[in-house]
Amino acid sequence: MEIIVTEEAANKIRAKKSGRNSSYLKLKYDTEGCGCVVSGVAALWLVNELEDDDNEIHTNIGSIYIEKSKEVFFEETMTIDFSEKANCFQLKSPNQYLNPRMSLYDKTTVK
């Protein structure tokens, strides 16, 4: 799997991670509130710890983690972009938008 992060998205991610150097960035297939596992939505999460089934994907801005069991919902090649006009992240593949209004959630806790 290949994930490319645009400069605009990288800047927004860095700003969100500021002061959270020990956090991890996950590309999460979030199914909470969706009713069905195949009705999930992609989101970015900042977390303190990784899960056992998190798979590391090396990107142009460092590692992003994806749950191995949820990789089937993603494309082999994806781009994470940021739209200033919509003020949100976008997850794209060469063939489609996987999420044109993707959020970045801070799930870290202060220790």
Residue with tokens 């969706």: 34
pTM of the predicted model, to two decimals? Answer: 0.88
Question: What class does CATH assign to 2-106?
Answer: mainly beta
User: What integer pLDDT is reported at residue 37 of this predicted model?
Assistant: 53
User: What integer pLDDT is reported at residue 18 of this predicted model?
Assistant: 84
Q: List, in order, residues 6 or more apart from 37 with CB less than 8 Å away.
A: 31
User: What sign for the dihedral angle of Cα 95, 87, 72, 58?
Assistant: positive
User: What integer pLDDT is reported at residue 67 of this predicted model?
Assistant: 94
* Positions of the chain with pLDDT lower than 70, given as ranges: 31-39, 110-111
User: What integer pLDDT is reported at residue 36 of this predicted model?
Assistant: 53
Instruction: Write down the domain spans for the chain.
Output: 2-106
